[in-house]
Chains A and B, each alone.
Chain A
Protein backbone atom coordinates (compact mmCIF):
# COMPACT_ATOMS: atom_id res chain seq x y z
CA UNK A 1 0.00 0.00 0.00
CA UNK A 2 1.47 3.32 -1.03
CA UNK A 3 0.12 5.26 1.94
CA UNK A 4 2.00 3.07 4.42
CA UNK A 5 5.26 3.49 2.57
CA UNK A 6 4.86 7.27 2.49
CA UNK A 7 4.15 7.19 6.22
CA UNK A 8 7.28 5.24 6.98
CA UNK A 9 9.35 7.38 4.66
CA UNK A 10 8.13 10.53 6.36
CA UNK A 11 9.01 9.17 9.79
CA UNK A 12 12.45 8.18 8.57
CA UNK A 13 12.97 11.50 6.84
CA UNK A 14 12.03 13.57 9.87
CA UNK A 15 14.24 11.55 12.15
CA UNK A 16 17.20 11.76 9.79
CA UNK A 17 16.70 15.49 9.55
CA UNK A 18 16.61 15.86 13.32
CA UNK A 19 19.78 13.81 13.73
CA UNK A 20 21.59 15.84 11.13
CA UNK A 21 20.56 19.08 12.72
CA UNK A 22 21.62 17.88 16.13
CA UNK A 23 25.01 17.06 14.69
CA UNK A 24 25.45 20.44 13.09
CA UNK A 25 23.86 22.49 15.86
CA UNK A 26 26.33 24.44 17.90
CA UNK A 27 25.89 24.20 21.66
CA UNK A 28 23.68 27.18 22.22
CA UNK A 29 20.58 28.02 24.14
CA UNK A 30 18.28 27.16 21.27
CA UNK A 31 19.58 23.58 21.35
CA UNK A 32 17.06 22.02 23.66
CA UNK A 33 14.14 23.91 22.13
CA UNK A 34 15.00 22.63 18.72
CA UNK A 35 15.35 19.09 20.05
CA UNK A 36 11.93 19.33 21.68
CA UNK A 37 10.33 20.69 18.55
CA UNK A 38 11.78 17.89 16.52
CA UNK A 39 10.46 15.26 18.91
CA UNK A 40 7.02 16.86 18.61
CA UNK A 41 7.24 16.72 14.84
CA UNK A 42 8.25 13.07 14.99
CA UNK A 43 5.32 12.17 17.20
CA UNK A 44 2.99 14.10 14.90
CA UNK A 45 4.24 12.25 11.84
CA UNK A 46 3.78 8.92 13.59
CA UNK A 47 0.20 9.67 14.58
CA UNK A 48 -0.85 11.30 11.32
CA UNK A 49 -2.42 8.30 9.44
CA UNK A 50 -4.74 7.32 12.30
CA UNK A 51 -7.56 9.81 11.63
CA UNK A 52 -7.57 8.68 8.00
CA UNK A 53 -8.11 5.08 9.09
CA UNK A 54 -11.09 6.03 11.25
CA UNK A 55 -12.84 7.85 8.45
CA UNK A 56 -12.45 5.18 5.82
CA UNK A 57 -15.24 2.73 5.02
CA UNK A 58 -13.93 -0.77 5.24
CA UNK A 59 -14.73 -2.73 2.11
CA UNK A 60 -14.73 -6.41 2.95
CA UNK A 61 -16.06 -7.70 -0.32
CA UNK A 62 -12.73 -7.37 -2.03
CA UNK A 63 -11.14 -9.68 0.51
CA UNK A 64 -13.76 -12.36 0.51
CA UNK A 65 -14.10 -13.03 -3.19
CA UNK A 66 -13.75 -16.75 -3.27
CA UNK A 67 -13.08 -18.67 -6.39
CA UNK A 68 -15.25 -21.64 -7.01
CA UNK A 69 -13.46 -24.92 -6.97
CA UNK A 70 -14.30 -26.86 -10.09
CA UNK A 71 -14.46 -30.58 -9.60
CA UNK A 72 -13.23 -32.77 -12.39
CA UNK A 73 -16.43 -33.88 -13.96
CA UNK A 74 -15.08 -36.26 -16.59
CA UNK A 75 -13.53 -38.37 -13.89
CA UNK A 76 -16.70 -38.39 -11.80
CA UNK A 77 -18.90 -39.35 -14.75
CA UNK A 78 -16.68 -42.22 -15.85
CA UNK A 79 -16.48 -43.35 -12.23
CA UNK A 80 -20.27 -43.25 -12.06
CA UNK A 81 -20.43 -45.51 -15.09
CA UNK A 82 -18.07 -47.99 -13.41
CA UNK A 83 -20.13 -47.86 -10.23
CA UNK A 84 -23.31 -48.53 -12.23
CA UNK A 85 -21.76 -51.60 -13.84
CA UNK A 86 -20.42 -52.83 -10.51
CA UNK A 87 -23.76 -52.52 -8.76
CA UNK A 88 -25.54 -54.24 -11.62
CA UNK A 89 -23.12 -57.16 -11.34
CA UNK A 90 -23.55 -57.26 -7.59
CA UNK A 91 -27.32 -57.44 -7.90
CA UNK A 92 -27.16 -60.10 -10.59
CA UNK A 93 -24.75 -62.21 -8.56
CA UNK A 94 -26.91 -61.87 -5.51
CA UNK A 95 -29.97 -63.03 -7.43
CA UNK A 96 -28.07 -66.01 -8.80
CA UNK A 97 -26.94 -66.93 -5.31
CA UNK A 98 -30.55 -66.79 -4.19
CA UNK A 99 -31.27 -69.47 -6.74
CA UNK A 100 -32.73 -67.73 -9.78
CA UNK A 101 -30.82 -68.03 -13.02
CA UNK A 102 -31.27 -66.12 -16.22
CA UNK A 103 -32.50 -62.91 -14.66
CA UNK A 104 -31.43 -59.76 -16.49
CA UNK A 105 -31.11 -56.56 -14.54
CA UNK A 106 -30.78 -53.14 -16.08
CA UNK A 107 -30.60 -49.94 -14.11
CA UNK A 108 -31.54 -46.49 -15.25
CA UNK A 109 -29.69 -43.83 -13.39
CA UNK A 110 -28.60 -40.25 -13.68
CA UNK A 111 -24.88 -40.44 -14.33
CA UNK A 112 -24.13 -36.81 -14.97
CA UNK A 113 -24.31 -35.65 -11.38
CA UNK A 114 -21.58 -35.77 -8.79
CA UNK A 115 -23.00 -38.72 -6.93
CA UNK A 116 -24.90 -41.21 -9.00
CA UNK A 117 -28.68 -41.16 -8.56
CA UNK A 118 -30.56 -44.35 -9.29
CA UNK A 119 -33.99 -44.04 -10.81
CA UNK A 120 -35.49 -47.43 -11.66
CA UNK A 121 -34.33 -51.00 -11.83
CA UNK A 122 -35.76 -53.11 -14.65
CA UNK A 123 -35.77 -56.83 -13.97
CA UNK A 124 -36.45 -59.11 -16.93
CA UNK A 125 -37.89 -62.39 -15.77
CA UNK A 126 -38.66 -63.91 -19.16
CA UNK A 127 -35.73 -66.33 -19.08
CA UNK A 128 -36.09 -67.18 -15.44
CA UNK A 129 -34.81 -70.60 -14.48
CA UNK A 130 -35.27 -71.66 -10.93
CA UNK A 131 -32.41 -73.77 -9.72
CA UNK A 132 -32.81 -76.54 -7.25
CA UNK A 133 -32.23 -74.48 -4.13
CA UNK A 134 -35.28 -72.34 -4.59
CA UNK A 135 -38.07 -74.62 -5.68
CA UNK A 136 -41.64 -74.36 -4.52
CA UNK A 137 -41.85 -70.62 -4.78
CA UNK A 138 -44.50 -68.81 -6.67
CA UNK A 139 -43.95 -65.70 -8.73
CA UNK A 140 -44.96 -63.27 -5.99
CA UNK A 141 -42.37 -64.63 -3.57
CA UNK A 142 -39.73 -64.60 -6.27
CA UNK A 143 -40.45 -60.96 -6.98
CA UNK A 144 -40.23 -60.13 -3.29
CA UNK A 145 -36.87 -61.87 -2.97
CA UNK A 146 -35.55 -60.00 -5.97
CA UNK A 147 -36.73 -56.74 -4.51
CA UNK A 148 -34.90 -57.55 -1.27
CA UNK A 149 -31.73 -58.29 -3.23
CA UNK A 150 -31.95 -54.97 -5.02
CA UNK A 151 -32.64 -53.23 -1.74
CA UNK A 152 -29.36 -54.49 -0.28
CA UNK A 153 -27.41 -52.42 -2.76
CA UNK A 154 -29.61 -49.48 -3.63
CA UNK A 155 -32.02 -47.72 -1.34
CA UNK A 156 -35.43 -46.36 -2.27
CA UNK A 157 -35.57 -47.41 -5.85
CA UNK A 158 -38.48 -48.65 -7.84
CA UNK A 159 -38.24 -52.15 -9.26
CA UNK A 160 -40.15 -52.83 -12.47
CA UNK A 161 -40.63 -56.41 -13.53
CA UNK A 162 -40.92 -57.38 -17.15
CA UNK A 163 -41.82 -60.74 -18.62
Chain B
Protein backbone atom coordinates (compact mmCIF):
# COMPACT_ATOMS: atom_id res chain seq x y z
CA UNK B 1 0.00 0.00 0.00
CA UNK B 2 2.63 2.47 1.05
CA UNK B 3 4.71 1.74 -2.01
CA UNK B 4 1.80 2.33 -4.34
CA UNK B 5 1.07 5.58 -2.54
CA UNK B 6 4.64 6.72 -2.95
CA UNK B 7 4.54 5.75 -6.59
CA UNK B 8 1.40 7.76 -7.15
CA UNK B 9 2.86 10.81 -5.46
CA UNK B 10 6.04 10.59 -7.48
CA UNK B 11 4.05 10.22 -10.68
CA UNK B 12 1.94 13.23 -9.79
CA UNK B 13 5.03 15.26 -9.13
CA UNK B 14 6.42 14.27 -12.47
CA UNK B 15 3.23 14.99 -14.43
CA UNK B 16 2.35 18.22 -12.64
CA UNK B 17 4.45 20.60 -14.77
CA UNK B 18 2.72 19.29 -17.86
CA UNK B 19 -0.70 19.76 -16.28
CA UNK B 20 0.07 23.21 -14.99
CA UNK B 21 1.88 24.45 -18.09
CA UNK B 22 -1.21 25.76 -19.94
CA UNK B 23 -1.85 28.08 -17.03
CA UNK B 24 1.74 29.22 -16.92
CA UNK B 25 1.75 29.86 -20.61
CA UNK B 26 -1.50 31.74 -20.36
CA UNK B 27 0.04 34.27 -18.04
CA UNK B 28 3.05 34.60 -20.27
CA UNK B 29 0.88 34.69 -23.38
CA UNK B 30 -1.28 37.53 -22.15
CA UNK B 31 1.78 39.63 -21.39
CA UNK B 32 3.25 38.70 -24.76
CA UNK B 33 -0.02 39.50 -26.51
CA UNK B 34 -0.31 42.97 -25.04
CA UNK B 35 3.30 43.78 -25.94
CA UNK B 36 2.83 42.33 -29.37
CA UNK B 37 -0.28 44.40 -29.99
CA UNK B 38 1.49 47.57 -28.90
CA UNK B 39 4.44 46.84 -31.13
CA UNK B 40 2.10 46.07 -33.97
CA UNK B 41 0.15 49.28 -33.60
CA UNK B 42 3.34 51.31 -33.36
CA UNK B 43 4.66 49.64 -36.45
CA UNK B 44 1.45 50.30 -38.35
CA UNK B 45 1.37 53.95 -37.28
CA UNK B 46 4.98 54.44 -38.36
CA UNK B 47 4.36 52.93 -41.75
CA UNK B 48 1.15 54.86 -42.30
CA UNK B 49 2.94 58.11 -41.56
CA UNK B 50 5.58 57.30 -44.13
CA UNK B 51 3.12 56.58 -46.92
CA UNK B 52 2.08 59.47 -49.11
CA UNK B 53 -1.70 59.70 -49.43
CA UNK B 54 -1.86 63.27 -50.69
CA UNK B 55 -3.04 62.43 -54.21
CA UNK B 56 -5.95 60.42 -52.92
CA UNK B 57 -6.96 63.11 -50.45
CA UNK B 58 -7.21 65.53 -53.34
CA UNK B 59 -9.52 63.13 -55.14
CA UNK B 60 -11.69 62.73 -52.08
CA UNK B 61 -12.16 66.45 -51.70
CA UNK B 62 -14.13 66.40 -54.94
CA UNK B 63 -16.62 63.80 -53.78
CA UNK B 64 -20.25 64.79 -53.96
CA UNK B 65 -22.73 64.57 -51.10
CA UNK B 66 -24.10 61.22 -52.18
CA UNK B 67 -20.69 59.67 -52.51
CA UNK B 68 -19.60 60.98 -49.14
CA UNK B 69 -22.46 59.26 -47.40
CA UNK B 70 -21.24 55.89 -48.61
CA UNK B 71 -17.56 56.49 -48.18
CA UNK B 72 -17.87 58.43 -44.97
CA UNK B 73 -16.95 62.01 -44.39
CA UNK B 74 -13.35 61.26 -43.53
CA UNK B 75 -10.04 61.48 -45.22
CA UNK B 76 -8.67 58.40 -46.92
CA UNK B 77 -6.08 57.90 -44.21
CA UNK B 78 -8.71 57.86 -41.50
CA UNK B 79 -10.76 55.37 -43.49
CA UNK B 80 -7.75 53.10 -43.81
CA UNK B 81 -7.17 53.28 -40.05
CA UNK B 82 -10.83 52.42 -39.45
CA UNK B 83 -10.61 49.41 -41.70
CA UNK B 84 -7.40 48.30 -39.98
CA UNK B 85 -9.29 48.29 -36.72
CA UNK B 86 -11.92 46.11 -38.31
CA UNK B 87 -14.65 48.69 -38.74
CA UNK B 88 -15.81 48.45 -42.33
CA UNK B 89 -18.75 50.75 -42.44
CA UNK B 90 -19.82 53.28 -39.93
CA UNK B 91 -23.44 53.36 -40.60
CA UNK B 92 -25.47 50.98 -42.71
CA UNK B 93 -28.70 52.84 -42.13
CA UNK B 94 -27.31 56.06 -43.57
CA UNK B 95 -26.31 54.24 -46.76
CA UNK B 96 -29.83 52.85 -47.18
CA UNK B 97 -31.28 56.27 -46.48
CA UNK B 98 -29.11 57.82 -49.12
CA UNK B 99 -30.00 55.16 -51.66
CA UNK B 100 -33.72 55.54 -51.08
CA UNK B 101 -33.43 59.32 -51.27
CA UNK B 102 -31.56 58.96 -54.58
CA UNK B 103 -34.25 56.62 -55.92
CA UNK B 104 -37.13 58.87 -55.07
CA UNK B 105 -35.40 62.04 -56.20
CA UNK B 106 -34.73 60.58 -59.60
CA UNK B 107 -38.19 59.12 -59.98
CA UNK B 108 -39.73 62.45 -59.06
CA UNK B 109 -37.56 64.31 -61.53
CA UNK B 110 -38.40 61.87 -64.30
CA UNK B 111 -42.15 61.95 -63.72
CA UNK B 112 -42.89 65.25 -65.47
CA UNK B 113 -40.93 64.10 -68.49
CA UNK B 114 -42.76 60.79 -68.61
CA UNK B 115 -46.12 62.47 -68.31
CA UNK B 116 -45.33 64.99 -71.06
CA UNK B 117 -44.11 62.41 -73.52
CA UNK B 118 -47.09 60.12 -72.93
CA UNK B 119 -49.52 62.99 -73.31
CA UNK B 120 -47.93 64.23 -76.51
CA UNK B 121 -47.79 60.84 -78.17
CA UNK B 122 -51.34 59.91 -77.19
CA UNK B 123 -52.48 63.19 -78.65
CA UNK B 124 -50.60 62.53 -81.84
CA UNK B 125 -51.86 58.97 -82.04
CA UNK B 126 -55.47 60.06 -81.61
CA UNK B 127 -55.18 62.76 -84.21
CA UNK B 128 -53.68 60.31 -86.60
CA UNK B 129 -56.27 57.60 -85.95
CA UNK B 130 -59.33 59.76 -85.84
CA UNK B 131 -58.52 62.08 -88.72
CA UNK B 132 -61.59 62.68 -90.89
CA UNK B 133 -60.20 61.62 -94.26
CA UNK B 134 -59.09 58.05 -93.72
CA UNK B 135 -57.71 57.67 -97.19
CA UNK B 136 -55.25 60.50 -96.91
CA UNK B 137 -52.28 59.09 -95.14
CA UNK B 138 -50.18 62.19 -95.40
CA UNK B 139 -51.88 64.03 -92.54
CA UNK B 140 -51.11 61.24 -90.12
CA UNK B 141 -47.56 61.11 -91.44
CA UNK B 142 -47.02 64.81 -90.95
CA UNK B 143 -48.54 64.65 -87.49
CA UNK B 144 -46.30 61.73 -86.68
CA UNK B 145 -43.29 63.70 -87.92
CA UNK B 146 -44.07 66.64 -85.68
CA UNK B 147 -44.81 64.54 -82.61
CA UNK B 148 -41.60 62.63 -83.18
CA UNK B 149 -39.57 65.81 -83.30
CA UNK B 150 -41.12 67.04 -80.05
CA UNK B 151 -40.38 63.77 -78.30
CA UNK B 152 -36.77 63.69 -79.38
CA UNK B 153 -36.38 67.26 -78.17
CA UNK B 154 -37.80 66.33 -74.79
CA UNK B 155 -35.61 63.29 -74.46
CA UNK B 156 -32.39 64.80 -75.68
CA UNK B 157 -31.55 66.79 -72.55
CA UNK B 158 -31.76 63.74 -70.37
CA UNK B 159 -29.86 61.58 -72.82
CA UNK B 160 -27.03 64.09 -72.98
CA UNK B 161 -26.99 64.17 -69.19
CA UNK B 162 -26.74 60.38 -69.04
CA UNK B 163 -23.91 60.31 -71.55
CA UNK B 164 -21.88 62.92 -69.70
CA UNK B 165 -22.60 61.06 -66.46
CA UNK B 166 -21.16 57.87 -67.92
CA UNK B 167 -18.08 59.53 -69.31
CA UNK B 168 -17.48 61.41 -66.05
CA UNK B 169 -17.80 58.19 -64.06
CA UNK B 170 -15.31 56.43 -66.32
CA UNK B 171 -12.84 59.28 -65.98
CA UNK B 172 -13.16 59.37 -62.20
CA UNK B 173 -12.58 55.60 -62.03
CA UNK B 174 -9.50 56.13 -64.15
CA UNK B 175 -8.26 58.81 -61.75
CA UNK B 176 -8.83 56.53 -58.80
CA UNK B 177 -6.89 53.74 -60.46
CA UNK B 178 -3.93 55.97 -61.31
CA UNK B 179 -3.77 57.27 -57.76
CA UNK B 180 -4.42 54.20 -55.63
CA UNK B 181 -2.47 51.62 -57.56
CA UNK B 182 1.03 53.06 -56.98
CA UNK B 183 0.40 52.85 -53.24
CA UNK B 184 -0.79 49.26 -53.48
CA UNK B 185 2.16 48.27 -55.63
CA UNK B 186 4.56 50.03 -53.27
CA UNK B 187 3.19 48.04 -50.36
CA UNK B 188 3.39 44.88 -52.41
CA UNK B 189 7.07 45.59 -53.16
CA UNK B 190 7.72 46.24 -49.49
CA UNK B 191 6.38 42.80 -48.71
CA UNK B 192 8.82 41.30 -51.16
CA UNK B 193 6.25 40.42 -53.80
CA UNK B 194 8.41 41.37 -56.76
CA UNK B 195 6.94 38.75 -59.10
CA UNK B 196 3.43 40.01 -58.43
CA UNK B 197 4.43 43.62 -58.98
CA UNK B 198 5.89 42.81 -62.36
CA UNK B 199 2.64 41.02 -63.23
CA UNK B 200 0.27 43.75 -62.04
CA UNK B 201 2.07 46.82 -63.27
CA UNK B 202 1.36 46.35 -67.00
CA UNK B 203 -2.18 45.17 -66.26
CA UNK B 204 -2.93 48.28 -64.27
CA UNK B 205 -1.38 50.54 -66.91
CA UNK B 206 -3.43 48.81 -69.57
CA UNK B 207 -6.65 49.17 -67.60
CA UNK B 208 -6.30 52.83 -66.84
CA UNK B 209 -4.84 53.74 -70.18
CA UNK B 210 -5.90 51.63 -73.12
CA UNK B 211 -9.15 50.15 -71.91
CA UNK B 212 -10.74 53.28 -70.57
CA UNK B 213 -9.52 55.16 -73.65
CA UNK B 214 -11.28 52.68 -75.89
CA UNK B 215 -14.42 52.88 -73.79
CA UNK B 216 -14.67 56.64 -73.87
CA UNK B 217 -13.45 57.18 -77.42
CA UNK B 218 -14.97 54.25 -79.28
CA UNK B 219 -17.71 52.56 -77.33
CA UNK B 220 -19.45 55.65 -76.01
CA UNK B 221 -19.85 57.09 -79.51
CA UNK B 222 -21.36 53.74 -80.47
CA UNK B 223 -24.22 54.55 -78.13
CA UNK B 224 -24.74 57.91 -79.76
CA UNK B 225 -24.63 56.29 -83.19
CA UNK B 226 -27.28 53.78 -82.23
CA UNK B 227 -29.38 56.62 -80.81
CA UNK B 228 -29.22 58.55 -84.08
CA UNK B 229 -29.95 55.44 -86.14
CA UNK B 230 -32.90 54.59 -83.90
CA UNK B 231 -34.35 58.00 -84.43
CA UNK B 232 -33.97 57.91 -88.15
CA UNK B 233 -35.14 54.37 -88.58
CA UNK B 234 -38.46 55.01 -86.90
CA UNK B 235 -39.14 58.17 -88.85
CA UNK B 236 -41.13 56.54 -91.59
CA UNK B 237 -42.58 53.20 -92.42
CA UNK B 238 -40.60 52.68 -95.59
CA UNK B 239 -37.04 53.23 -94.47
CA UNK B 240 -36.00 50.81 -91.79
CA UNK B 241 -32.51 50.55 -90.34
CA UNK B 242 -33.16 47.82 -87.81
CA UNK B 243 -30.42 45.53 -89.03
CA UNK B 244 -27.86 48.32 -88.98
CA UNK B 245 -28.84 49.06 -85.40
CA UNK B 246 -28.46 45.42 -84.45
CA UNK B 247 -25.04 45.49 -86.14
CA UNK B 248 -24.01 48.37 -83.90
CA UNK B 249 -25.36 46.55 -80.86
CA UNK B 250 -23.49 43.36 -81.71
CA UNK B 251 -20.32 45.33 -82.37
CA UNK B 252 -20.65 46.86 -78.95
CA UNK B 253 -21.27 43.53 -77.23
CA UNK B 254 -18.37 41.82 -78.96
CA UNK B 255 -15.87 44.61 -78.32
CA UNK B 256 -16.73 44.78 -74.64
CA UNK B 257 -16.91 41.02 -74.31
CA UNK B 258 -13.52 40.44 -75.86
CA UNK B 259 -11.79 43.17 -73.87
CA UNK B 260 -13.37 42.01 -70.64
CA UNK B 261 -12.65 38.31 -71.13
CA UNK B 262 -9.06 38.77 -72.20
CA UNK B 263 -8.26 41.23 -69.46
CA UNK B 264 -9.91 39.39 -66.61
CA UNK B 265 -8.77 35.93 -67.62
CA UNK B 266 -5.21 36.97 -68.31
CA UNK B 267 -4.81 39.06 -65.19
CA UNK B 268 -6.45 36.52 -62.91
CA UNK B 269 -4.30 33.63 -63.99
CA UNK B 270 -1.09 35.62 -64.01
CA UNK B 271 -1.93 37.26 -60.73
CA UNK B 272 -2.91 34.08 -58.95
CA UNK B 273 0.24 32.30 -60.08
CA UNK B 274 2.51 35.21 -59.26
CA UNK B 275 0.80 35.80 -55.93
CA UNK B 276 1.19 32.18 -54.98
CA UNK B 277 4.88 32.23 -55.86
CA UNK B 278 5.48 35.32 -53.79
CA UNK B 279 3.38 34.07 -50.90
CA UNK B 280 5.32 30.83 -50.88
CA UNK B 281 8.70 32.51 -50.92
CA UNK B 282 7.72 34.86 -48.12
CA UNK B 283 6.24 32.07 -46.04
CA UNK B 284 9.32 29.93 -46.58
CA UNK B 285 11.51 32.70 -45.26
CA UNK B 286 9.22 33.12 -42.27
CA UNK B 287 9.22 29.39 -41.60
CA UNK B 288 12.98 29.31 -41.54
CA UNK B 289 13.13 32.14 -39.06
CA UNK B 290 10.47 30.67 -36.81
CA UNK B 291 12.09 27.27 -36.75
CA UNK B 292 15.43 28.66 -35.83
CA UNK B 293 14.22 30.29 -32.65
CA UNK B 294 13.21 28.39 -29.55
CA UNK B 295 9.54 28.17 -28.70
CA UNK B 296 9.09 30.75 -25.98
CA UNK B 297 10.89 33.62 -27.57
CA UNK B 298 9.72 33.13 -31.13
CA UNK B 299 7.30 36.04 -31.34
CA UNK B 300 9.03 38.49 -29.08
CA UNK B 301 12.22 38.72 -31.03
CA UNK B 302 10.71 38.53 -34.49
CA UNK B 303 10.81 42.19 -35.44
CA UNK B 304 11.00 41.39 -39.12
CA UNK B 305 7.71 39.52 -38.97
CA UNK B 306 6.01 42.47 -37.31
CA UNK B 307 7.17 44.82 -40.04
CA UNK B 308 6.01 42.53 -42.82
CA UNK B 309 2.72 41.78 -41.10
CA UNK B 310 1.88 45.44 -40.66
CA UNK B 311 2.73 46.15 -44.29
CA UNK B 312 0.43 43.32 -45.24
CA UNK B 313 -2.44 44.66 -43.17
CA UNK B 314 -1.97 48.15 -44.52
CA UNK B 315 -1.98 46.84 -48.09
CA UNK B 316 -5.26 45.02 -47.54
CA UNK B 317 -6.79 47.99 -45.77
CA UNK B 318 -5.81 50.39 -48.55
CA UNK B 319 -7.28 47.98 -51.08
CA UNK B 320 -10.51 47.77 -49.11
CA UNK B 321 -10.78 51.55 -48.79
CA UNK B 322 -10.16 51.92 -52.51
CA UNK B 323 -12.97 49.51 -53.31
CA UNK B 324 -15.29 51.39 -50.99
CA UNK B 325 -14.42 54.58 -52.85
CA UNK B 326 -15.20 52.83 -56.14
CA UNK B 327 -18.58 51.74 -54.83
CA UNK B 328 -19.38 55.25 -53.69
CA UNK B 329 -18.46 56.69 -57.09
CA UNK B 330 -20.32 54.18 -59.19
CA UNK B 331 -23.59 53.60 -57.39
CA UNK B 332 -25.25 56.95 -58.00
CA UNK B 333 -24.80 57.10 -61.79
CA UNK B 334 -25.87 53.48 -62.11
CA UNK B 335 -29.10 54.10 -60.25
CA UNK B 336 -29.88 57.13 -62.39
CA UNK B 337 -29.29 55.33 -65.67
CA UNK B 338 -31.23 52.25 -64.57
CA UNK B 339 -34.19 54.33 -63.48
CA UNK B 340 -34.21 56.21 -66.78
CA UNK B 341 -34.11 52.95 -68.71
CA UNK B 342 -37.03 51.54 -66.74
CA UNK B 343 -38.95 54.76 -67.21
CA UNK B 344 -38.44 54.52 -70.97
CA UNK B 345 -39.73 50.97 -71.02
CA UNK B 346 -42.75 52.03 -69.02
CA UNK B 347 -43.45 54.81 -71.47
CA UNK B 348 -43.15 52.50 -74.43
CA UNK B 349 -45.56 50.10 -72.78
CA UNK B 350 -48.12 52.83 -72.18
CA UNK B 351 -47.81 54.44 -75.61
CA UNK B 352 -48.01 51.29 -77.64
CA UNK B 353 -51.73 50.50 -77.45
CA UNK B 354 -52.89 54.10 -77.44
CA UNK B 355 -50.64 56.01 -79.76
CA UNK B 356 -48.36 55.58 -82.68
CA UNK B 357 -46.57 52.24 -83.00
CA UNK B 358 -43.41 53.83 -84.35
CA UNK B 359 -42.92 56.09 -81.37
CA UNK B 360 -43.32 53.15 -79.03
CA UNK B 361 -40.73 51.15 -80.93
CA UNK B 362 -38.35 54.11 -80.95
CA UNK B 363 -38.58 54.52 -77.19
CA UNK B 364 -38.19 50.82 -76.50
CA UNK B 365 -35.12 50.44 -78.72
CA UNK B 366 -33.70 53.55 -77.05
CA UNK B 367 -34.05 51.83 -73.70
CA UNK B 368 -32.25 48.79 -75.10
CA UNK B 369 -29.37 51.02 -76.15
CA UNK B 370 -29.17 52.51 -72.66
CA UNK B 371 -28.09 49.10 -71.43
CA UNK B 372 -24.81 49.87 -73.20
CA UNK B 373 -24.03 52.67 -70.78
CA UNK B 374 -24.79 50.50 -67.78
CA UNK B 375 -22.66 47.67 -69.11
CA UNK B 376 -19.75 50.01 -69.70
CA UNK B 377 -19.67 51.29 -66.14
CA UNK B 378 -20.22 47.86 -64.61
CA UNK B 379 -17.52 46.31 -66.79
CA UNK B 380 -14.86 48.85 -65.90
CA UNK B 381 -15.70 48.71 -62.19
CA UNK B 382 -15.53 44.93 -62.25
CA UNK B 383 -12.12 44.91 -63.88
CA UNK B 384 -10.85 47.36 -61.29
CA UNK B 385 -12.38 45.23 -58.55
CA UNK B 386 -10.72 42.07 -59.83
CA UNK B 387 -7.33 43.74 -60.05
CA UNK B 388 -7.56 45.21 -56.54
CA UNK B 389 -8.81 41.93 -55.12
CA UNK B 390 -5.89 40.09 -56.68
CA UNK B 391 -3.41 42.56 -55.21
CA UNK B 392 -5.05 42.15 -51.81
CA UNK B 393 -4.72 38.37 -52.04
CA UNK B 394 -1.15 38.26 -53.29
CA UNK B 395 1.96 37.90 -51.22
CA UNK B 396 0.07 37.46 -47.99
CA UNK B 397 2.26 36.29 -45.20
CA UNK B 398 -0.44 35.79 -42.63
A86 contacts B209, CB within 8 Å? no
Point out the residue from B208, B214, B229, B235 that lies within 8 Å of A8, measured CB to CB.
B229
CA distance A79 to B178 in the complex (A): 23
Quick one: given A66-B202, A69-B182, A71-B186, are A85 and B145 in contact (CB under 8 Å)?
no
Annotate B257-273 by CB proximity to A: 1 below 8 A, 0 otherwise.
Answer: 00000000000000000
Residues of B in contact, count (CB < 8 Å): 58
Give the bracket for the number of chain A residues in contact with chain B: 35 or more
A-B contact count (CB 8 A): 130
CA distance A74 to B49 in the complex (A): 11
Quick one: given A1-B221, A94-B293, are A76 and B189 in contact (CB under 8 Å)?
yes
Distance (whole angstroms) from the CB of A106 to the closest CB of chain B:
16
B238 contacts A12, CB within 8 Å? no
The answer to the question of A67 belonging to the interface, with a C-beta cut-off of 8 Å to chain B, is yes
Distance (whole angstroms) from the CB of A82 to the closest CB of chain B:
5
Query: Which chain A positions have C-beta within 8 A of B224?
Result: 8
B186 contacts A72, CB within 8 Å? yes
Quick one: given A76-B189, A82-B307, A114-B189, are A66 and B225 in contact (CB under 8 Å)?
no
Quick one: given A69-B205, A79-B311, are A19 and B289 in contact (CB under 8 Å)?
no
A71 contacts B182, CB within 8 Å? yes
B244 contacts A69, CB within 8 Å? no
Chain B residue at minimal CB-CB distance from A72: B186
The answer to the question of B28 belonging to the interface, with a C-beta cut-off of 8 Å to chain A, is no
Query: Which chain B positions have C-beta within 8 A of A66?
Result: 202, 205-206, 209-210
Query: Which chain B positions have C-beta within 8 A of A18?
Result: 236, 239
Query: Which chain A positions have C-beta within 8 A of B209?
Result: 64-67
Annotate A137-155 by CB proximity to B: 1 below 8 A, 0 otherwise.
Answer: 0000000000001001100
The answer to the question of B75 belonging to the interface, with a C-beta cut-off of 8 Å to chain A, is no
Point out the residue from B186, B225, B238 that lies within 8 Å of A76, measured CB to CB.
B186
Query: Which chain B positions have C-beta within 8 A of A11?
Result: 228-229, 232, 241
What 4 A-B pairs come out closest when comparing CB atoms? A86-B303, A66-B205, A152-B292, A93-B301
Query: Told that A8-B225, A42-B239, A83-B307 touch, could you supply 8 new A-B pairs with CB distance under 8 A?
Result: A11-B232, A15-B241, A63-B213, A64-B209, A75-B190, A86-B307, A90-B301, A153-B304
Interface, chain A (partner B; CB < 8 A): 1, 4-5, 8-9, 11-12, 15-16, 18-19, 22-23, 35, 38-39, 42, 46, 63-72, 74-76, 78-79, 82-83, 85-87, 89-90, 93-94, 97, 114-115, 149, 152-153
